[in-house]
């Protein structure tokens, strides 16, 4: 993975392939144009993630966009065919953009190992699947884990699972598992708390509409941002309604990069530019003609712009002194003029 000092931005393909390989490939090209560092897939089949069962447990009833569907039907439509992974990854490699995936069972990890993926992403709803996390972590690749349904204990268990296999390259993503998520539920202060509390890298997996939340997350310390990406919302599909198209994603990337530049670093250095600007600061000036030996007063000396005179910190000292020479109105004071 090409991690550097910039926030690592992941375009999540998810179900936004429209059931066509050409659309998936064009989405990779669009993600590269939009400035993404990586394109992320999801590796499952309906049968590896759930059961084909019409019992009530398997029917979605969560107040979501997908309510009324059975899990197996939803995942059957949304799944990315496994035979598409290699051409997608080959294209990503050719374009110079990372490509990895979220595995949803051991067989997916085995399959992705055969494609030499650079990292593994554990989805929010899989954070409780400790055997899956252990198996993925055992491969020695960077681990990125979302927390959409997780409490503190869940996060601790997931991190411990990675570390049991001597995998310490762990990034935990603050996530709100609502589709779309409300901005007021983002709670981005959690990003820095994750870093400090668990001693890991932290970031954001975002499901809010628009780009404000991911941009603000940079100021909260996010090192990774994941956002659903779609070539064209007209394609439709399970995730289209909360995904960004190419223009929106490009705007997000540009805004994130600008946010990084304005955050910058801790800086108190007196640069040449700052020193030059000090010419517009306050300093002590003679504001009425003063004769040699005359007392300095609040009437004949003031702190004004520009900044070529004596520092205003000397003001009270000056008022206790006399002029050592005749001073004309508009003269910048110096210590040599004071008796």
pLDDT of 45 reads 95
C-alpha 124/C-alpha 282 separation (Å) is 56
pLDDT digits (tens, 9 = 90+) for 69-118: 899 998 998 899 999 999 999 999 999 999 999 999 999 999 999 999 99
Taking the C-alpha atoms of residue 123 and residue 209, their distance in angstroms, rounded to an integer, is 19
CA dist., res. 27 & res. 229, Å (int)? 8
CATH architecture of 272-337: Alpha-Beta Complex (3.90)
- Give the Cα-Cα-Cα angle 80, 204, 82 (nearest 5 degrees): 10
Domain over 8-44+79-263 is classified CATH 3.40.50.10470: no
Q: Tell me the HSE value of 288 on the side-chain side, using a 13 A CA sphere.
A: 9
- Enumerate residue ranges in the chain where pLDDT < 70: 1-4
Q: What is the model's pLDDT at position 62?
A: 77
Task: Give the pLDDT confidence score for residue 1 in this predicted structure.
Answer: 54
Closest C-alpha to 296, from 316, 323, 314, 333: 323
The full set of domain ranges for the chain reads 8-44+79-263, 272-337
């Amino acid at each position: 993975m090409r991690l550097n000092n910039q926030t690592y931005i992941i375009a999540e393909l998810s179900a936004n392939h429209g059931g066509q390989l050409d659309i998936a490939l064009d989405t990779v090209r669009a993600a590269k144009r939009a400035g993404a560092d990586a394109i992320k897939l999801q590796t499952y089949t309906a049968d590896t993630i759930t059961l084909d069962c019409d019992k009530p447990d398997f029917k979605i009833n969560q107040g979501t966009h997908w309510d009324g569907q059975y899990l197996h039907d939803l995942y059957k439509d949304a799944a990315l065919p496994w035979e598409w992974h290699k051409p997608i990854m080959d294209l990503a490699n050719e374009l110079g953009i990372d490509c990895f995936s979220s595995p949803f069972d051991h067989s997916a990890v085995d399959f992705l190992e055969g494609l030499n993926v650079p990292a593994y992403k554990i989805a929010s709803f899989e954070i409780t699947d400790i055997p899956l996390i252990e198996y993925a972590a055992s491969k020695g690749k960077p681990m990125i884990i979302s927390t959409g349904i997780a409490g503190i204990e869940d996060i601790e268990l997931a991190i411990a699972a990675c570390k049991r296999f001597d995998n310490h390259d762990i990034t935990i993503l603050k996530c709100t598992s609502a589709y779309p998520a409300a901005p007021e539920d983002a709670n981005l202060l959690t990003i820095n708390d994750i870093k400090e509390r668990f001693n890991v890298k932290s970031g954001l997996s975002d499901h809010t509409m628009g780009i404000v939340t991911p941009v603000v997350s940079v100021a909260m310390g996010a090192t990774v941002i994941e956002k659903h990406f779609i070539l064209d919302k007209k394609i439709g599909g399970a995730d289209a309604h909360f995904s960004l198209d190419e223009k929106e994603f490009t705007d997000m990337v540009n805004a994130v990069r600008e946010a990084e530049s304005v955050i910058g670093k801790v800086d108190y250095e007196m640069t040449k530019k700052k020193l030059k600007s000090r010419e517009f600061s306050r300093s002590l000036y003679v504001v009425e003609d003063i004769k040699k030996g005359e007392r300095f007063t609040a009437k004949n000396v003031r702190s004004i712009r520009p900044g070529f005179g004596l520092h205003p910190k000397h003001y009270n000292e000056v008022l206790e002194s006399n002029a050592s020479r005749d001073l004309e109105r508009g003269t910048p004071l110096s210590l040599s003029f004071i008796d």
